[in-house]
Structure 1
């Protein structure tokens, strides 16, 4: 199958959303504007998981066997993950915020606790390992609905329990519906896509996007009143309203056939940008100091996107050149 450009563009938007979440997290002193912008980006990680499920399915990733599938996926994501885990782990040891022992090393490399964003890779690898199971489950609407029920139960048990992690790592059950939905799209792609292309559907999706984001903000406010979690914790992507918001975002890109070239270019380097940008934010934190202005936040966001993209692109080019010379 030829590349589906709307999803390449959506991948670019998703990494921009991730950076928005992490930059705005430094500006909670600004108040409501920072919180709202933080929530705007909450579709990001769910979209990455949806695109992963879709991509594996549409390319028939198991055609050469399960073992070859896992080897191929491991080679694609683990070298960079392990390299960046070592970097972040070393930085924390130097700062004295992490103790060097067996338990810590397990949490860092197995559960992705070397930095706040690294949980995503162990989560993704778990979904790779269980892909044959989810492929079977997601062939049917009832199967996808079952993953939705499990995800919602996991989310709200975690929220009302006051803990969003699982053994020091990601609670994988709070994310499985996205992967399952992506697989379902992959299995039904040729049927679903034409149905989303009418002007009427596009208008409905636009309205639903606005309503789903309003619901997201409302849910956060309601949960604040009935749980023990702080507002910072309730800004999490692990909320039911985020599921609606994220799925509508995917459907909008499919319906409106969005193929913005800039987003596609950014999307090609999304994984590298994802792993690298928190280190850049650490550096900017030392330069900027106090973060008390929404204007400074937007400038920092733009700077982070531009620098992270450029440096990641340069690193990829250097790696390619090195391989060619060695080869």
Structure 2
């Protein structure tokens, strides 16, 4: 199971990079169109084109990535708890995450300040660090830290006779947070924190239960795996269609996230299908190594993608209109640059600082 989870981590980090590269692809299609065509911007002529449809599909099938990271973290927390889960262990794990997260967040903030020539206060910096908003994807870090801090209580609950009620309660909490998204959309509420642990609390708790109570849960899940696969196929177009409808009807870009009901169910079904079917993967060694480096790639790739996209904008604008070249370029640099940066640092005298930079 551990090897499969590293595969899942590797697949997830690939999905993260693809997801965010497509975000820059949309920017190039609609907001940078004047760099390669004589038009005013924003220009939405490309909406509905084959390239746009493909990007929408890829954007909406990749959000399983962050829930997958949460699931892997929960499983290994449960594994560590078999020898006794202490607050010292939790503190060490949280600190090992927060140090590189803080360094990369400050670097992103500094880059944006220099690029946009804007002032930012100390309060703004602290707010960005606490909420994971230095980069639009960094909210995962405060979220997973909350779950780590809750993990001793969750482990205890899963080990108790009331573990099914705990799963039911966390499931209800996750349903409530999905409903929260809709309340914000329709103006009933004005704000929803992406970093709130309830967004993915059920998946984290379920992954703990899969480790500690696998002999009870896994046989039942595997016995129904054809159902999970069938429902996955059903919910794929629903997840894509719902988010695209919200975007075109309300201007709310939920593509690439798990804020909606269909996207959340699709993500859960993907994870259930992945863990209940036995299969081998091509390039599994590469996926395994990617899984081991996932956190470092996660932290570094937003800056790499932004720099790459803006270099293309200034130096080779014609590529912006060719998504079949522009997107592979972004995806490749988003993976390869962090990979080699981590490899270089781990194999030189700089390796003493590796944990502080990449976790």
Q: Give yes or no for TM over 0.5.
A: yes
In the alignment, which of 203, 212, 218 is matched to residue 178 of structure 1? 203
2:61 aligned with 1:37, yes or no? no
What secondary structure sits across from 1:237 in the alignment?
coil
Change (3 A) 1:176 1:77: same
281-290 vs 213-222, which deviates more?
Answer: 213-222
Q: Deviations over 1:123-175 (max 9, x none)?
A: 11111112223334445223212212221222222333135642xx6233222
For residue 342 of structure 2, what is the aligned residue in structure 1? 312
Name the CA distance, whole Å, in 2 between partners of 1:110 and 1:98. Answer: 21
For residue 143 of structure 2, what is the aligned residue in structure 1? 123
Name the CA distance, whole Å, in 2 between partners of 1:62 and 1:129. Answer: 18
Change (3 A) 1:276 1:143: same
Aligned residues: CA RMSD? 2.8
1:55-204 mapped onto 2 (5 Å cutoff) = 55-60=76-81, 63=84, 65-66=86-87, 68-96=88-116, 99-138=119-158, 140-162=163-185, 165-166=192-193, 170-194=195-219, 203-204=226-227
For residue 43 of structure 2, what is the aligned residue in structure 1? none
2:230 aligned with 1:210, yes or no? no
In the alignment, which of 21, 24, 38 is matched to residue 23 of structure 1? 21
Name the CA distance, whole Å, in 1 between partners of 2:191 and 2:204. Answer: 19
122-131 vs 210-219, which deviates more?
Answer: 210-219
2:312 aligned with 1:282, yes or no? no
What secondary structure sits across from 2:84 in the alignment?
coil
Change (3 A) 1:314 1:239: farther
Q: Deviations over 1:207-229 (max 9, x none)?
A: 33322212211332454587x4x
Q: Deviations over 1:267-292 (max 9, x none)?
A: 01000000000111112112222533
In the alignment, which of 287, 290, 295 is matched to residue 263 of structure 1? 287
Q: Given that residues 7 and 253 in structure 1 are in contact (C-alpha distance below 8 angstroms), is that contact kept between their aligned partners in structure 2? A: no
TM-score (norm 2): 0.78
What secondary structure sits across from 1:232 in the alignment?
coil
Change (3 A) 1:287 1:222: closer
2:330 aligned with 1:300, yes or no? yes
Q: Deviations over 1:81-128 (max 9, x none)?
A: 111122112112222465332320221221122111211111111111
For residue 46 of structure 2, what is the aligned residue in structure 1? none
2:70 aligned with 1:49, yes or no? yes
Change (3 A) 1:258 1:73: farther
Q: Given that residues 23 and 281 in structure 1 are in contact (C-alpha distance below 8 angstroms), is that contact kept between their aligned partners in structure 2? A: yes
Instruction: Provide structure 1 residue ranges, at least 5 long, that are not aligned to the other structure.
Output: none
